[in-house]
Amino acid sequence: MTNELAYDEHSVSGGVEGTYPVQQVLFGGLAIQFDDRVLEPRQWTTHQSFWAAQLMVGAPAGPVLELCAGAGQIGLLALTLSDRAGVLVDADPIACGYARGNTERAQMADRVEVRNARAEQALTPADRFAVAIIDPPWVPSSGTDRFPADPLFAIDGGPAGLDVAAECLRAVNAHLLPGGSVLIQLGTAEQLTQLLADVEDDAVWQVQRVWRQDQGRGVVAHLQRHQNLA
């Protein structure tokens, strides 16, 4: 269920003025606000949140990262089930504005930081994370017209749908604690195979498990760095 609440009169990137009704959904019990410039929360992705929360139980001590956080709901829902700190990253300033508001509404602003940056520029040398959640745009550019309601920047992953996914996995590589986990969302298992081949010069990732959404809406994969394995 989506509710329209108010109008956000911020200008759109590119300088075009417009008004956008603020909408609100419940995502795993969390009130999440967004508007049409940001990808609408997809209910099936609560699975990624709950899986991330499970991984946090056995992960080393340390904070949780979400790359491509959008309005922040996947990472925030996971973090409600833990007392860990979190960093939510998105390249879109409008998405980050909503992620900050959603963090405050969830009363988590004391432990969740929102960074507006591309994945490859978002992390500081000292950042180390126990779990990294990645929800990149993964639709191949040639197929984005199948989703006319979705903001192009949020879904267009380049020719094979893997440009931002590869950027994110490379970004995480130097910032994952030993024994840490990555939980990445893609469109298909075939994309996962191609992605791991694309990034193998930077790190060898071991696939622990792949979950396929039963209506074919996406896959989520649990990865660990090969050198992390006992």
Ligand X SMILES: C[S@@+](CC[C@H](N)C(=O)[O-])C[C@H]1O[C@@H](n2cnc3c(N)ncnc32)[C@H](O)[C@@H]1O
Which residues sit at the interface with ligand X, rule CB under 6 A? 39, 41, 45, 67-70, 74, 89-92, 95, 118-119, 135-137, 153-155, 164, 167
Q: CB of 128: closest distance to ligand X in angstroms?
A: 19
Residue 117 CB contacts under 8 Å (≥ 6 apart), including other chains:
89, 91
Q: CB of 133: closest distance to ligand X in angstroms?
A: 8
Nearer to ligand X, 198 or 228 (CB): 198
Nearer to ligand X, 123 or 154 (CB): 154
Q: CB of 106: closest distance to ligand X in angstroms?
A: 15
Nearer to ligand X, 39 or 177 (CB): 39
Nearer to ligand X, 26 or 228 (CB): 26
Phi, psi at residue 196, to the nearest 5°? -65, -35
Alpha carbon distance 89, 98 (integer Å): 12
Any idea of the CA torsion for 201, 61, 210, 77, to the nearest 10 degrees? Answer: -120
Helix, strand or coil, per DSSP, at residue 172: helix
Residue nearest to ligand X (CB): 70
Nearest alpha-carbon partner for 166 in 226, 119, 129, 211: 119
